[in-house]
Structure 1
Amino acid sequence: MAEDNANEASSTSSKNYDIIVFGASGFTGKYVVREALKFLNTPNSPLKTLALAGRSPSRLSEALNWASSPNSPPNIPLLTADTSDPNSLIRLAAQARIILNCVGPFRLYGQPVVSACVDAGCDYLDICGEPEFMERMEALYHEKAVDKGSLVISACGFDSVPAGMGLLFHSRQWTGPSVPNRVEAYLSLESDKRIVGNFGTYESAVLGVANAGKLVELRRNRPKRARPQILGPAPPKGPIIEHQKQLGLWAIKLPSADSIVVRRTLSALTENPHGLPGVNESFESAKMREAFWLSVKPAHFGVKLGSKSLLGLFPVIMLGIFIGLLSKSAVGRWLLLKFPSFFSFGWFRKKGPSEDEVASATFKMWFIGQGFSDSSLASQGNKKPDTEIITRVMGPEIGYLTTPIILLQCALLVLKDRDNLPKGGVFTPGIVFGPRDLETRLQENGISFDFISKKTLTA
């Protein structure tokens, strides 16, 4: 064991860079670079060395200049790598403690990066929101990642940390004998200007619907994951469109990765009731981890997109219809990807939002949980939930501000607290970072977690 630890320490110390941002010249990537520069060689930051990687050195240089403005760009190495060149990725992973992958859609470009990181024993974080990619990487690489000491953690962005960490925060408000039964998250996007989404998110949605059968097939061929024990009855399906009067929102079910990632986290917790032990975990860290997970109570979970008016849901409904009808054929996919602004009523466009549009946007994610004041009531089949708790996560624009904040805080936590994290494996952010200080780090960087209210429900 001592020899293994010495080899790991030697391997870590031989890495040239703490973090390499791969895809740094992309629209999201340059915002990630801007966020990373805030923590490079600053007091108490574990980030001492940083490099940028992508296909074009000139575009990387432009991205660095943009991210550094109005200051002069620091002297940061610009490395050439391409997902179509496995050797370039192997060279990249050999030099990094962590690779932050911003190159999507991940179903098209993600696997070679994961493969290189696992082979090199390099930790890997990305901003993916594609369930099939995440579950396929788990199926293909988990055992090898454990053996090689590579942590592979997808969905370290708006997909799906606000939902995942938000549910864990909400769950811990059910103290004493009280237990949640179901939690519904309502996402509200707000802006003084037009809200413009990330084209990569749109492209991933189109390809995800087009290949939905592959996810079904993947799950069919894998062992069933453990299901968490949720007290009380299964929640009713409810209407397709809901008027949530408490929040002043009209809402529709959102087919995002959030609920899928949350279910994977709860399955991992069911299989590991005390969480995942760290590779060289301290006694204090182990006690903190165990205490944290004992305070978490699982619940049925879903996500809905909210709008202050019923009319505001019309573009969402129509986009869902367009993607559902057109994504199954090559011509339909070409049309969807060629004219995103038309099919999304301006919500998505290839050139992305302006700086003003990004700066003016915010999000609120409300968590309305219903459950029982005493767990003994949940076992009585005719009892309805008698308690409601509301919490909220809120922050800046989701794609270019919140996502880089989350990705960098996850990476800094890995750098600072690596011994107290699992040796390796393919995991969700919640099961790895839940008991650590990610929530506090996000609070300190503009993403708040708030308790709103608790009340008794009348029959």
Structure 2
Amino acid sequence: MAAVEEPKLDIVIFGATGFTGKCAVQEIIKLAKEKSDLSWGVAGRNESKLKEVLADISKKTGEDLGKIPIIIADVSQEDSLLKMAKQARVIVNCAGPYRFYGEPVVKACIAAGAHHVDVSGEPQYMEKMQLEYHKSAEEKGVYIVSACGFDSIPADMGTVFLINKFEGDVNSVETYLESWAEGSVKGAGIHYGTWASAVYGLAHQNELRPLRQKLFPERLPELKPKLKPRGLIHKNEYVEGWCLPFPGSDRSVIQRSQRYFYEKEKQRPAQIQAYVAFKSFLAIIAISIVGTVLLVLSKFNFGRKLLLKYPRFFSCGFISHEGPSEETMKKTRFNLTIVGEGWKEKQAEPTDNHADPPNKMMIVRVSGSDPGYGLTTRALLLSAITILKEANKMPGRGGVFPPGAAFAKTSLIEELDKHEMKFEVVTSKEK
């Protein structure tokens, strides 16, 4: 008699013993209460640590996690990853930096027919996965979606939200990220893993140009008027603060979605610029100094060793191996202001330029609390659930996508809105 295969788990959280993984376990407990048919498990390389995580979170939440499946999987052991992926419908990958640990998991997921989501903010990793695995993922009917956390979900899905509400041709989008703590907080604000990803990302920045030339051999059309980047440090009326170019992956993630909409749906691709905003000019100076030191030291092996060995020192206390306390996370809030300009009229073709200057502006805001980890893992898990429930509303039958392209026609924005990530139109006016 043939062996009867056990039903697959809906979601397996890989890397559940890490800081982000633990946050994901706490969030999935809440979501599983809402969605009673949701089955899930945890995975990692150390069984005793996985049991310890479940025991600690069980004690903390009062939930009985004794029967949650535990799967042993190690990125250095291909067979173990394949075995894990065969037991899941979606792998929620919390094990970074992804440039080192992400690709083997993606390969295993495609081979096993499991979908894959992660919270990468690493353009080299994300674009390499799209270049090398999009076709095979499509053939297997598997969705691989990176950047499913803060800050790319607010930025990419927020841009989708703005374009959907605009009812015309959007020419340009500028994003302004603000984050602050309500009241006094102590300790670090970001976990070491995020810092390590940034260090290695900057160190290998030169990989992006040749990678993008292969991934996107044809340039997007030159549309007018051209959106020019603002000054290195500039005062901005939309957020009433001082702004710097945002060093994260938001711009590249949004641009990949815009390219998809242009190539597959004949939508005019919006030009994108991303900024981070601060109320204080002194904060801008401090961030600029830290950023300059990070940029310079990351280019040298010795400098990278220093940055990774002493993260708290080089980040002025903002980064630590322990990560932020629960109090700090709960008190941290964010606003992402998205400013779109364009025309109230639509041209027949996405490459057609308008004869007149832009005559419409819209401002959208995406906001929430605990963006770094609580909201991040909530968005990550809701992305996974969206694939489970609404794959028929996603592009084609599979592939490697940024979140905006992947989830534009699904209910993800509505689900995020229900779970404390608010999307709203602040201003819409004709010029």
TM > 0.5 fold call: yes
CA drift at 1:387 = 3.0
CA distance in 2, matches of 1:188, 1:433: 24
- What fraction of aligned residue pairs are identical, expressed as a percent? 35
CA RMSD of aligned residues (A): 2.1
CA distance in 1, matches of 2:387, 2:165: 27
CA drift at 1:139 = 1.5
Is the CA contact 2:176–2:277 (under 8 Å) kept in the aligned structure 1? yes
Specify the alignment match of 2:324 in structure 1. Answer: 353
CA drift at 1:309 = 0.9
CA distance in 2, matches of 1:435, 1:375: 20
Specify the alignment match of 1:6 in structure 2. Answer: none
Q: Aligned in 2, Cα 1:245/1:170: closer, same or farther, shift over 3 Å?
A: same
Query: Given residue 300 of structure 1, which amino acid in structure 2 is its aligned partner?
Result: Q
Q: Aligned in 2, Cα 1:411/1:375: closer, same or farther, shift over 3 Å?
A: closer
CA distance in 1, matches of 2:23, 2:56: 9
Structure 2 residue aligned with 1:73, among 64, 89, 93?
A: 64
Moved more, 214-223 or 337-346: 214-223
Specify the alignment match of 2:194 in structure 1. Answer: 201
Q: Residue 272 of structure 1 aligns to a residue in which SS? A: helix
Is the CA contact 2:259–2:269 (under 8 Å) kept in the aligned structure 1? no
How big is each residue's C-alpha offset from its partner over 1:168-204, in whole Å with a ceiling of 9 and x where there is no partner?
11112322xx433211111000102256123222111
**What are the within-5 Å matches in structure 2 for residues 94-113 of structure 1?**
94-113=86-105
Q: Say whether 1:271 aligns with 2:242.
A: no
CA distance in 2, matches of 1:156, 1:312: 28
Is the CA contact 1:24–1:30 (under 8 Å) kept in the aligned structure 2? yes
Is the CA contact 1:142–1:426 (under 8 Å) kept in the aligned structure 2? yes
How big is each residue's C-alpha offset from its partner over 1:408-447, in whole Å with a ceiling of 9 and x where there is no partner?
1111111222344342211111112111100000000000
Q: Say whether 1:227 aligns with 2:227.
A: no
Q: Aligned in 2, Cα 1:375/1:148: closer, same or farther, shift over 3 Å?
A: closer
CA drift at 1:330 = 1.0
CA distance in 2, matches of 1:45, 1:416: 14
Q: Say whether 1:391 aligns with 2:364.
A: yes
Q: Say whether 1:423 aligns with 2:397.
A: yes
CA drift at 1:226 = 5.8
**What are the within-5 Å matches in structure 2 for residues 48-447 of structure 1?**
49-68=39-58, 69-74=60-65, 75-175=67-167, 178-191=168-181, 192=183, 193=185, 196-225=189-218, 227=220, 230=223, 232-273=224-265, 298-374=269-345, 379-380=354-355, 383-421=356-394, 422-447=396-421
How big is each residue's C-alpha offset from its partner over 1:278-314, in whole Å with a ceiling of 9 and x where there is no partner?
xxxxxxxxxxxxxxxxxx7532112111111111122
Is the CA contact 2:234–2:243 (under 8 Å) kept in the aligned structure 1? yes
Is the CA contact 1:30–1:63 (under 8 Å) kept in the aligned structure 2? yes
CA distance in 2, matches of 1:106, 1:161: 17
Structure 1 residues not aligned, in runs of 5+: 1-12, 275-295
Query: Given residue 275 of structure 2, which amino acid in structure 1 is its aligned partner?
Result: K
Q: Aligned in 2, Cα 1:263/1:225: closer, same or farther, shift over 3 Å?
A: farther
Is the CA contact 1:156–1:406 (under 8 Å) kept in the aligned structure 2? yes
Is the CA contact 1:46–1:415 (under 8 Å) kept in the aligned structure 2? no
How big is each residue's C-alpha offset from its partner over 1:343-399, in whole Å with a ceiling of 9 and x where there is no partner?
11122112101110111101100012222344579623xx54343221100011222
Moved more, 212-221 or 344-353: 212-221
CA distance in 2, matches of 1:418, 1:233: 37
CA distance in 1, matches of 2:222, 2:375: 32
Structure 2 residues not aligned, in runs of 5+: none
Q: Aligned in 2, Cα 1:221/1:70: closer, same or farther, shift over 3 Å?
A: closer
Q: Residue 320 of structure 2 aligns to a residue in which SS? A: coil
CA distance in 2, matches of 1:61, 1:118: 28
Is the CA contact 1:198–1:399 (under 8 Å) kept in the aligned structure 2? no
Is the CA contact 2:75–2:105 (under 8 Å) kept in the aligned structure 1? yes
Q: Aligned in 2, Cα 1:269/1:226: closer, same or farther, shift over 3 Å?
A: farther
How big is each residue's C-alpha offset from its partner over 1:198-223, in whole Å with a ceiling of 9 and x where there is no partner?
32221111101111122222223344
- The number of residues matched between the two structures is 417
Query: Given residue 70 of structure 1, which amino acid in structure 2 is its aligned partner?
Result: T
Specify the alignment match of 1:451 in structure 2. Answer: 425
Is the CA contact 1:229–1:298 (under 8 Å) kept in the aligned structure 2? no
How big is each residue's C-alpha offset from its partner over 1:303-343, in whole Å with a ceiling of 9 and x where there is no partner?
11111111112232112211221111111000011111111
CA drift at 1:225 = 4.8
Query: Given residue 280 of structure 2, which amino acid in structure 1 is its aligned partner?
Result: S
CA distance in 2, matches of 1:430, 1:444: 18
